[in-house]
Chains A and B, each alone.
Chain A
């Protein structure tokens, strides 16, 4: 009987205008998001390669490693980040690496093209959390009361149909009917990828699978919520209004309010405040160092090289001391800010956890490695690289480049062989390891677990409401 009602539900929906419209819109949007994603990825990839080339080219002809500064590393584009953007377009892609000091990422996509920041990209996150959640409501708002209004509920329950079976069949049938217009264009979109020479790794396939699972759970949550409201109200117009209000709340308002709410509860110092503290401290230390510099007395010798070596050592020691002090302060300020920011983020995530669409966005960004963790992950990898860079430069120059130093090169013989240009490719290469699907699986499981709980909770609500529903 369950199968019979599911089949009927599927046939009824698939034969409807509602389905035809949903299928058309979903197909267009999903295929468009794949196309835009692929195009963006290709553009980002060529920009990435060009930036890397330009970075290397600036050192052409340089003969001394000491003159290597403003060396940049870049965040490589990830294929799935174009399907679920997360924060990948908001964070800086470029980091200027020095042998010491803090690293900052710059040149975000949205910073470069603010118009995209205004309207954001069309990605699977947008399609699932905005468009499909709305379609789920359109499919579900009259599942029960619509049957009553059409008069078919009486005839159905004049037969020996258990109410529990009916609610399950209604949910499963409409869920499958909604999954079809979703999965077909996604599969078609996936087939597009090889056409554009985009090969996914096994980890990326797994990530894609995780996105689809999270999307299904998100749709399921909205559908079961709709079923529940439909089984609680007599008129489909009432349930539609209630569900539309809930949709606006969960999709539009709660995610924004959760951030504002978290900001009210946890005060996070701004980067400007922190940078200002750092600058003040640095200028104070500089003043102290200037006095030390003026008190510098060179060794009493006629050997200029010996004088310069002593001066460089003196300056290096000052720079090391200065960096040590600065790093201590910066670490303390940064840690405090990071702790507060983490606390604020946790609170915002906690508040937004009551919105299925926010939960989908969080799980999808965790699956694709474009979650809030991406920025820290990139910076942490950059810091690791900074150590390799510093070690390499020390080996090449005998000092840790990055602080203030003066370098004198004395040429004693004009006929001596001209120095050879450095080979910049000797520098260690920055290899970015994207956040793997497994690294975020804990968070993903948490978010999708709540989504699954919403499914169960809303479905239980529908089940109980329909048990007492007046089918006349």
Chain B
């Protein structure tokens, strides 16, 4: 029996007050144990889609659902089922990594963790022991991203939204990050990730969607892409050749 989708966009449209159409009638779904990578250039509508899932924006029409809950109708209920990692994870610089974890994890509704649990997860995401008690102001972007993913892991939500999470990371950190995502996928998480990184998307994603000017112009399973040159395909879509 196929699982119900944890993340679902149904005829989702977002038109801003100035008339700009950011997302135009897109539909897709992400099931448990699946990574959905949204590729696209700047202004393609990827971040807007994620913002609608997080109820930072209200859809003009259609729905974004988390665990079947329309986010603009019951945002607080929906957000209990999702964790979020942004392009540039920003945490409280006066706090240590552990203090930040403690705050955001408890904010996410998980209050049973011990400091050891936090340390274990920080080690799992690749943040070494000596950094755990350091204030965030001393952290590099990569280290902050690791903290962000640690928070998402500890929230233990069935769905994860990632907005260009590997942007600005060095290749090694990017690789480790994607390995971590794969392990989360294997634990049954539904992951929706916006990215510019075609190479990593091809490596890890189960489904790839290409967005252009608010449209989801392509959506294919990895199996459907075998043998295809994703980079060329992407460039063609970006140039409007395949439409």
Contacts and interface: CB of A to CB of B under 8 A. Distances in A.
Interface string B118-159: 000000000000000000000000000000100100010000
A245 interface: no
B83 A158 contact: yes
Contact of A160 (B76, B92, B151): B76
Contact of A158 (B82, B91, B92, B95): B82
B28 interface: no
A194 interface: no
Interface stretch (A78-86, A147-155, A220-228, A407-415): A147-155
9 contacts: A8-B103, A12-B95, A150-B90, A150-B93, A154-B56, A155-B90, A157-B54, A158-B84, A160-B80
Contacts of B86: 151, 154-155
B76 A162 contact: yes
A17 to B, nearest CB: 9
Contacts of B75: 160
A470 interface: yes
B89 to A, nearest CB: 7
Interface residues of B, number: 32
Contact of A471 (B56, B89, B92, B99): B56
B108 interface: yes
Given A150-B90, A470-B56, A159 B79 contact: yes
A467 interface: no
B88 interface: yes
B90 to A, nearest CB: 3
Contacts of A154: 54, 56, 84, 86, 90
Nearest to A150: B90
A159 B104 contact: yes
Contact of B79 (A160, A471, A472): A160
B95 A159 contact: no
A16 B94 contact: yes
Contacts of B51: 472
Q: Which of B77, B94, B148 has the most CB of A within 10 A?
A: B94
B106 interface: yes
B56 A472 contact: yes
Contacts of A159: 79, 104, 107-109, 155
A131 B92 CA distance: 28
B57 interface: yes
Contacts of A5: 107
Contacts of A1: 107
A160 to B, nearest CB: 4
Contact of A155 (B80, B82, B84, B95): B84
Size band of the interface chain A makes with B: 20 to 34
Contacts of B57: 472
B79 A158 contact: yes
A253 interface: no
Interface of A: 1, 4-5, 8, 11-12, 15-16, 150-152, 154-162, 470-472
Q: State the 6 A-B residue pairs at the shortest beta-carbon distance, nearest first.
A: A151-B90, A158-B84, A15-B94, A160-B76, A160-B79, A159-B108
Nearest to B148: A155
B158 to A, nearest CB: 14
Nearest to A14: B94
Nearest to A154: B86
Given A16-B94, A160-B79, A162-B76, A155 B104 contact: yes
A13 to B, nearest CB: 9
Contacts of B93: 150
B106 A160 contact: no
A167 B90 CA distance: 20
Nearest to A1: B107
B164 to A, nearest CB: 13
B107 A161 contact: yes
Given A11-B95, A16-B94, A151-B86, A156 B56 contact: no
A155 B91 contact: yes
Contacts of B89: 151, 155
A156 B107 contact: yes
A156 B57 CA distance: 15
A162 B155 CA distance: 17
Contacts of B56: 154, 157, 470-472
A472 B75 CA distance: 15
B17 to A, nearest CB: 11
Nearest to A7: B103
Interface string B91-115: 1111100010001101111000000
Interface in B27-71: 51, 54, 56-57
Contacts of B94: 11-12, 15-16
Given A8-B92, A159-B79, A160-B77, 16 more contacts: A4-B103, A4-B107, A11-B94, A16-B94, A152-B91, A152-B92, A154-B54, A155-B104, A158-B79, A159-B108, A159-B109, A160-B76, A160-B80, A161-B107, A471-B56, A472-B56
A262 B118 CA distance: 64
Contacts of B148: 155
Nearest to B144: A151
B163 to A, nearest CB: 9
Nearest to A16: B94
A11 B89 CA distance: 20
Nearest to B161: A158
A152 B54 CA distance: 14
Contacts of A158: 54, 79, 82-84, 161
A411 B90 CA distance: 102
Contacts of A156: 104, 107
A159 B152 CA distance: 10
Nearest to B99: A11
B106 A4 contact: yes
Contacts of A4: 103, 106-107
Contacts of B82: 158
Nearest to A156: B107
Contacts of B161: 158
B60 to A, nearest CB: 16
A405 to B, nearest CB: 80
Contacts of B92: 8, 12, 152
Contacts of A161: 76, 107
